[in-house]
Structure 1
């Protein structure tokens, strides 16, 4: 199945009735699943996350935009978040079996309908942008709603679709295609927005103007340094070029970034920057950040968009923000996810904090994710339920058999139905074996002084945990595969495909059992000697797991 995600941002966060009507329009399309609704009172903005097949998402997005422009009046809108229209920004994200090219076509089709049927100026951004300067959402939204009337008069800001006339009630809509974006806010123990902005400028890829003089503890208090004739400072070090090209070369060779591209981000002509502020980049790529005040929380936040979490993840910016806040006499009290966070992102954060604590990675998956939640302070100002806020959770979280009580599972096996049976029990034995090996590994972890062995334990603890979870999932998969095979027999249809699937599951359990044996041998040699009996039980379970699965095959 093809799956597309859509995350429309609407300029309304205070009137729940309006948001409910928009949500009802979106969910009126059969097959659409609403994953999250995040309303912000002070930002006066709501982010809705939904998924579905391409055609259904396309229709649902249009209906949501249509209802929003019907109900939201931008002439009355005030809020902390930058915005340009009622249906402010509508990105499409490929989730499963869908290419960016397909999403670009979806974006164009929706944009065309919005422009023609709703008579709203529409700009395409991100991977759907028609011009390089429109790739960056911030460039299109610069000047916001209040500056849109004048912006539309400029030929270079002619909309991609719809009229060039200003629509005072609805503003404009920005539609595009992007990778998964994490909307992430870091909380500070202050009500001063300028303090949050000072840190935000240090974090964001775009960076800030170079200043001199009174720059500690707050950099923004210094005097802005400007480019002059024969005076082109680097900003990161003491280098001063005689020409801009000298400084561009220096920045590339010594600091690894393209100064000309950085200047363009700030709308400065890199060929003639004289008189303009000297710029230096921030600490993180794929990171956008501003500071704002949220009276609802009685504090300010560093509002961050992470446009590629595989390059810059939440824990990277959180830890750096803590350091920068401390330098300024401030404290980071926690953080907040707006919308959803990918499973891979929060998993990596959990692993980072466990390793920082000197702890094994071989603990239950839920514990790893909870470590991330607690370490990032994700419940500081709002609730955070892993099952609701994390997208892409492994199947193990939803497996029916795995969520039964032990007594119910054992009773289920004993019933006269043929499944779950030996295959599921073999998978259970493999998961128990890996759990016992993990127990010994975790008990031994703090006692290991040898650095090489400790690093090896980090590596194998993560692998052993994955094998445990995979084996657990095999309990459910074996039952499902065998039931498919029985159904094929009953319906007297070609059973080859069902038979192959029914064989694949126990074969996989056999392979996992062998992998667990190899890892457990290392734990046996390097772990606590007082826990050898537990490793012995692990090997016994692996014996039953392997040969039980073998008999099923």
Structure 2
């Protein structure tokens, strides 16, 4: 079965490396499972293991890890700062590629039933795998933690496994969810109460409404309760005579289903008299508490971000800084626990670069550095993007990773590849890079302030074009490998000759498609240079002109490769259509190059 699933089990052991290594070995004993990250926490006495596997074996790998943890971790002796209820505390399955959320729900249920029946561990399902609405929220599933399991199991059966207390292994929450980011924000204080103050203000669950706080610390005020005939709004001064009036006000003024919000907090909307009123938090899809980590010498806001697309980390970070400043506290940085998708860092980099008036059209390593520095990801621990970031773009081709002299040497050797197609892609990449450079430099100039958005957009497009053209350096050579392989095929019999002819045509078609794509990308690089020719300062005319010349040369050179490969393809319809597409693209390139030349020459006269 194709596809990939991420699994992120949290084990209640963060101090004994041998135990965690043994669990990791058990996971990877299942063929196809790969451990990507192991993040141990001594103070929390908890380890987050991240592994990926195809959907047909990810459940087996997870079971192997849970079984080994049950052997090696005794919850009767466990203590740590993080909430937990079992040797394997949580076991979420996350769709990565080629897999749906429904697939992950099915995997969670199958794996949970197996763990419950074979290992005797009580199981509750949460998030998308929840079998009852009240247990979608992990905090509700884990309420009471390990110490409360005897009472809890006495009140009802779990979703899977025995309704009996497993003193050694506790219980496990198994779920299916979107990518969860475990993330902590660091403060310049060790006071846990201050950390909770900020976490409660930001998290989706919110906090108790209070009144009469003597200063900026909201938690010092008196808790507001519901009373007969008085149902105050947690977010403003409104008070309704009953819950229905309050819910109607909340929906109209603040948005959302208030009854559902209170149920998610474990409260019955029809039995609120005497209960605390809740004030909404600032962000959705954000769970959090405050704690102190002595080994870091600071308190942290400990967050789980359950949907980074609706709740970007940089927005939460900025809000934390804002709330901290109100209270005389300073945010010093943050910490990613486990892995983080590249898109999170890219979003943060673009946000902070734009905010400081810099162009976000930078190479991937520069964007990563900007995000790491802006979010303070190296404040309390090292952060290596190579091992911490999932999906970070990188060029892995053999040719593009050579130094310039080595590449030029390789082109000059007595082999047909790399040849004109690879060189054409490199020329186009250099053209795009020059246009992008001018856009980035211009974006920071005070005289170009009115054009900042346009320049930043040009730089981002140019950077993406440069990366695609750089990839084309290897793509062109790889495409021609098919032709070379076909040429080496046997041709002794009619059948062999027919097979060879078909393979040659397929190879030449592929070898034609790549340089044709390069022509289109060079056209787009010329467009970048053309836009910059209209916005450039006079002192940058030579760079814009050089970029256009290189991109134009790349387009023409790639066009030669298309035409020479078409001569080897017998399909006349394919050749006619491809030739027409090529001529149209080259015509656009010629027009763009001429326009840039006119603008540059006018500046240089």
In structure 2, how many angstroms separate the alpha carbons of the residues matched to 1:485 and 1:89? 51
Q: Counterparts in 2 of 1:223-302, with a 5 A limit?
A: 223-302=222-301
Q: Name the SS of the counterpart of 1:18 in structure 2.
A: helix
Larger radius of gyration: 2
- Taking the aligned partners of 1:386 and 1:87, their CA distance within structure 2 comes to 27
Q: What corresponds to 1:180 in structure 2? A: 179
Displacement after TM superposition at 1:519 (Å): 2.3
Distance in 1 separating the partners of 2:421 and 2:59: 43
The equivalent of 1:532 in structure 2 is: 541
TM-score by length of 2: 0.89
**Greater CA drift, 67-76 or 520-529:** 520-529
Structure 1 runs (4+) greater than 4 angstroms displaced: 448-452
- Helix, strand or coil at the partner of 1:107: helix
1:408 corresponds in structure 2 to 406
Distance 1:231 1:497 in 2: 77
CA shift for structure 1 position 78: 0.5
Instruction: Tell me the equivalent position of 1:354.
Output: 353
Structure 1 position 343 matched with structure 2 position 342? yes
Partner of 1:392: 391
Separation (CA, whole Å) in 1 of partners of 2:175 and 2:35: 20
TM-fit CA distance, 1:450: 6.0
Alpha-carbon contact 1:448-1:454 (below 8 Å) kept:
no
Q: 2:418 aligns with which of 417, 420, 423?
A: 420
Alignment match, 2:584: none
Distance 1:91 1:446 in 2: 44
Summarize the alignment of residues 147-546 of structure 1 with structure 2, pairs less than 5 Å apart.
Answer: 147-155=148-156, 158-214=157-213, 216-394=215-393, 396-447=394-445, 449=447, 453-491=451-489, 493=500, 494-495=502-503, 496-546=505-555
Higher mean displacement: 193-202 or 490-499:
490-499
Structure 1 residue 81 displacement after superposition: 0.8
Distance in 1 (CA, whole Å) between partners of 2:406 and 2:462 is 27
1:49 is aligned to 50
For residues 416 and 135 of structure 1, the distance between their equivalents in structure 2, rounded to whole angstroms, comes to 64
> Could you tell which deviates more after superposition, 540-549 or 483-492?
483-492
- Cα offsets for 1:504-546 (capped at 9, x unmatched): 2212111111112222211111111111011111111111110
Following the alignment from structure 1 to structure 2, what is the Cα–Cα distance between the partners of residues 488 and 345? 44
Gaps of 5+ in 2: 490-498, 563-605
CA distance in 2, matches of 1:450, 1:242: 58
CA distance in 1, matches of 2:379, 2:124: 36
SS at match of 1:36: strand
Q: How many angstroms apart in 2 are the aligned matches of 1:80 and 1:405? A: 50
Give the distance between the partners of 2:532 and 2:262, measured in 1 at CA: 54
1:413 and 1:321 map into 2 onto residues whose CA distance is 54
Shift of 1:241: 1.3
Query: How much is the aligned-residue C-alpha RMSD, in angstroms?
Result: 1.5
Do the aligned residues in 1 keep the contact of 2:421 with 2:557 (CA within 8 Å)? yes
Measure the CA separation in 2 of the matches of 1:333 and 1:266: 31
Q: Distance in 2 between matches of 1:483 and 1:66?
A: 47
User: Residues 93, 247 of structure 1: CA spacing in aligned structure 2 closer, same or farther, 3 A cutoff?
Assistant: same
- Tell me if the contact between 1:262 and 1:281 (Cα under 8 Å) persists in the aligned partners: no
Q: Tell me the CA shift for residue 301 of structure 1.
A: 0.6
2: distance between equivalents of 1:243 and 1:200?
Answer: 30
Partner of 2:558: 549
* Residue number in structure 2 paired with 1:100: 101
Is the 2:436–2:458 Cα contact (8 Å) retained in structure 1? no
- Determine the C-alpha separation between the residues in 1 that align with 2:260 and 2:507: 56
Q: Which shows bigger deviation, 526-535 or 398-407? A: 398-407
Instruction: Measure the CA separation in 2 of the matches of 1:27 and 1:147.
Output: 33
TM-score (norm 1): 0.97
CA distance in 2, matches of 1:302, 1:499: 58
8 Å contact kept, 1:37–1:49: yes
